[in-house]
Amino acid sequence: VKWDMNRSITECYSKALLPERQGEVFHRYILGVYELYDRLNRNFPHVLFESCASGGGRFDPGLLYYAPQCWTSDDSDGVERQKIQYGTSYVYPISSMGAHVSITPNHQLNRITPLKTRGDVAAFGAFGYELDLARLTAEERELVREQVRFVKKYRKLIHTGTFYRLLSPFDGNFTAWMVVSADRRQALVAYFKLLNDVNREYRRLFLHGLDESLLYRMTEDHVEKGSFYGSELMNIGMLTTDASAGEVPQGEEPCCDFWSRIVVLEAEN
C-alpha cells in the first residue's frame, strides 16, 4: 500500500494544549502517525506499507520501522534521481527507496533521457516502472525485459550489499556508486555522465570495498572487459574512458548526454 499525504502541515494549532505548549504539536503529530502505522502493521502484518517523502515531513528513520519502503520524490527524472538517491543514501538504505523508470519527456522537467539511463538509476532502489508500456517501441520493450531480468538477478546484492558513493552528482559532470556483496566476491558499479564532452582525458574510477587479493572478471552488457585484481581496481582504478577521449572503443556505441553504464564484477578465484 503506497500511502501518500501530499499536504504540508499548515495552521498548526491544537485546542487541547495551552499557548505555551503549541510547539509540541508537530512532535505529537509524528507520534500519532507512528501510532496509526503501528495499528495497521499489527492488524495487517502481511501488507507492505510504502510511505512518502512529501507532505508533513514523514520520511524519517523512525518511520522505516513501520514502512520499510519510501517514495523519495515525485521527481522521477533519471538525471534528478541521481542526486535524490545519492543524497538519500547518506541516511537510508537503498532498498528503502522507491525508484521507478518513468516516461520521457519527463512529466515534470520535460527532459528527454535514454531508457537505459533511467533503468540504470532506478536499479539501485526498489525498482519499478510507471509508464505506458503500450507506447514503447519493440526495441524499448525488449530493453525493459532485459532491465527486469538484470534487477531480478542482482536484487539480493543490490538490497543487502554494502553501498559506496564514488562520485557525487553535486560536484561535477559525473555520478558513480557501487554495491559490494558481504563476501566481497561480487559487485556492481554504476557510472553516469550528465553532459557529453569532447577531446577529454582518459578517465579512471577508483573502486571501494573489494578484496585486494581476488581476481575479478569484468562484464558490461554481457561483454567481457577483462579480469583485474581488487588491488588494481581500488588503487589504479577502473578505466571509464569513453568516445569523448577521441575515439569510440571497438564494439561500443558513442556516448551522449545523460549516458550511463553498469559494470558487473565477479570473483574468479
Q: Identity (one letter) of the amino acid at 112?
A: I
Distances (CA, A) of 6 to 3, 71, 73, 157: 9, 12, 11, 32
Could you tell me the pTM of the whole model?
A: 0.90
**DSSP class of 71:** E
- For residue 265, give the nearest of 181, 206, 193, 192 by alpha carbon: 181
Is residue 138 very low, low, confident or very high in pLDDT (cuts 50, 70, 90)?
very high
Q: Mean pLDDT across the stretch 186-194?
A: 97
Q: pLDDT, tens digit, for every residue of 43-88?
A: 999 999 998 876 555 678 888 899 999 988 888 999 999 999 999 9
Omega within 30 of 0 (cis) for the link into 105: yes
More confident residue, 14 or 245: 14
Q: How far apart are the first and last CA of the chain?
A: 44
More confident residue, 64 or 8: 64
- The pLDDT, as a whole number, for residue 72 is 87
- The pLDDT, as a whole number, for residue 199 is 84
Mind telling me the catalytic residues?
4, 74
DSSP 124-136: SSEEEEES-GGGS
**How far apart are the C-alpha atoms of 127 and 70, rounded to whole Å?**
12
